[in-house]
């Protein structure tokens, strides 16, 4: 799934190397600045950006031609010219964002979450756009429902039933499940409000997932392929591996996708080592 999402992002990125993108993808903000006192300045920047984007597209095509001809000298020159054209276009875009911030100091200068939406609405047929929107809504509803039910069930079975009320009635468990659903739903809403400020939501979700996916995968791999490793060793190994992942996230510049490898390998390695010291005394 992560590969598919990243692949779509890469394809959209490549598309906009050969198609002039808007100077800012959040159309609400651009419409607001156009209708303000800064409208003429913004329009001038848009015209400059279109020229710079066209120049960038030309340099990209020249680079492709040089790569097809396998001419190393032309490839190096084209790469430098393309990089300069990109920096020129980016500089104009930064000026436009600064102008929008002067018009509205509370505006979000990051438009990453609007790029794919802009691509869908501008370049796909209307019927296909409707199907994509319907699929997104259906998937989000299904995912939200399943996650809330799973979280509520886990909360009731693993926490409420084991710690607070082991002999409760079915009605009490149902009420506890509904309360847990409300609590988790509220937490999800608060987190969503905060996540909207993190820039790219896809990247934010992938980073958050990468902090835990590797450790969880390591636990499953130990259970399936290292059956002689006992639960206590795996339990402590998971904490050690998760601590290593968090350390890499906070104190290193490691790419977030490598957190999965660190967590998975860390759980397996630590579980095997700890099993030698934890389980043997118990067997005696």
C-alpha Rg value of the chain to the nearest Å: 26
Nearest-angstrom CA–CA distance, 39 and 33: 6
Ramachandran class of 70: left when φ > 0, alpha when ψ lies in -120 to 50, beta otherwise: left
Cβ neighbours of residue 174 under 8 Å, at least 6 residues apart?
none
Question: Residues 252-266, buried b or exposed e (16+ Cβ, 10 A)?
Answer: eeeebeebbebbbbb
Is 132 contained in some domain? Answer: yes
Q: How many domains does the chain have?
A: 3
Q: Same structural domain for residues 100 and 139?
A: no
3-state helix, strand, coil in the chain (%, to 5): 80, 0, 20
The pLDDT value given to residue 279: 54
Q: Same structural domain for residues 88 and 140?
A: no
Q: Same structural domain for residues 253 and 268?
A: yes
* 31-55 pLDDT tens trace: 999 999 989 999 999 999 999 999 9
Distances (CA, A) of 41 to 93, 97, 110, 193: 13, 12, 20, 33
Is the pTM higher than 0.75? The answer reads no
Q: Over range 199-223, report the average pLDDT.
A: 85
* 83-109 pLDDT tens trace: 999 999 999 999 999 999 999 888 888
Encode 110-174 in three state secondary structure. Answer: CCHHHHHHHHHHHHCCHHHHHHHHHHHHHHHHHHHHHHHHHHHHHHHHHHHHHHHCCCCCHHHHH
Is 246 contained in some domain? Answer: yes
Sign of CA dihedral 20, 23, 25, 28: negative
Q: Over range 221-232, report the average pLDDT.
A: 89
Question: Residues 108-132, buried b or exposed e (16+ Cβ, 10 A)?
Answer: beebbbbbbbbbeeeeeeeeeeeee
The pLDDT mean for the chain works out to: 88
Q: Which of 150, 172, 199 is the last residue of a domain?
A: 199
Q: Same structural domain for residues 14 and 100?
A: yes
Is 118 contained in some domain? Answer: no
Q: Same structural domain for residues 194 and 207?
A: no
Nearest-angstrom CA–CA distance, 5 and 206: 10
Is 113 contained in some domain? Answer: no
Domain that holds residue 256: 200-284
* 167-192 pLDDT tens trace: 888 888 899 999 999 999 999 888 87
Q: Same structural domain for residues 194 and 204?
A: no
- Asked if 213 and 267 count as a contact pair (C-beta separation under 8 A), the reply is no
CA atoms within 13 A on the CB side of 18: 9
Q: Which of 144, 179, 199 is the last residue of a domain?
A: 199
The pLDDT value given to residue 158: 86
Residue 213 has pLDDT above 80, yes or no: yes
The pLDDT value given to residue 121: 86
Cβ neighbours of residue 265 under 8 Å, at least 6 residues apart?
214, 218
Residue 6 has pLDDT above 50, yes or no: yes
Is 80 contained in some domain? Answer: yes
């Amino acid at each position: 799934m992560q590969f598919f999402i990243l692949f779509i992002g890469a394809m959209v990125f490549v598309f906009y190397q050969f198609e002039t993108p808007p100077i800012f993808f959040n159309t609400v903000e651009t419409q607001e600045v156009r209708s303000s006192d800064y409208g003429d300045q913004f329009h001038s920047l848009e015209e400059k950006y279109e020229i710079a984007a066209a120049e960038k597209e030309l340099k990209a095509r020249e680079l492709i031609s040089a790569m097809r001809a396998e001419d190393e000298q032309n490839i190096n020159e084209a790469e430098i010219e393309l990089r300069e054209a990109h920096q020129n276009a980016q500089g104009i875009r930064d000026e436009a964002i600064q102008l929008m911030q002067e018009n509205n100091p509370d505006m979000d200068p990051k438009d990453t979450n609007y790029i794919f939406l802009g691509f869908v609405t501008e370049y796909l047929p209307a019927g296909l756009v409707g199907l994509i929107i319907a699929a997104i809504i259906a998937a989000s509803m299904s995912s939200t429902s399943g996650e809330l039910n799973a979280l509520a069930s886990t909360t009731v079975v693993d926490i409420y039933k084991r710690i607070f009320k082991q002999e409760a009635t079915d009605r009490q468990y149902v009420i506890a499940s509904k309360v847990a659903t409300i609590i988790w739903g509220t937490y999800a809403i608060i987190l969503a409000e905060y996540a909207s400020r993190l820039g790219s939501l896809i990247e934010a979700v992938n980073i958050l997932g990468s902090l835990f996916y590797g450790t969880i995968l390591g636990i499953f791999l130990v259970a399936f392929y290292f059956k002689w490793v006992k639960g206590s060793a795996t339990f402590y190994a998971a904490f050690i591996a998760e601590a290593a992942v968090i350390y890499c996230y906070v104190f290193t510049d490691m790419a977030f996708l490598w957190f999965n490898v660190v967590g998975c390998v860390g759980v397996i390695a630590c579980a095997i080592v700890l099993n030698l010291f934890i389980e043997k005394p118990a067997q005696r």
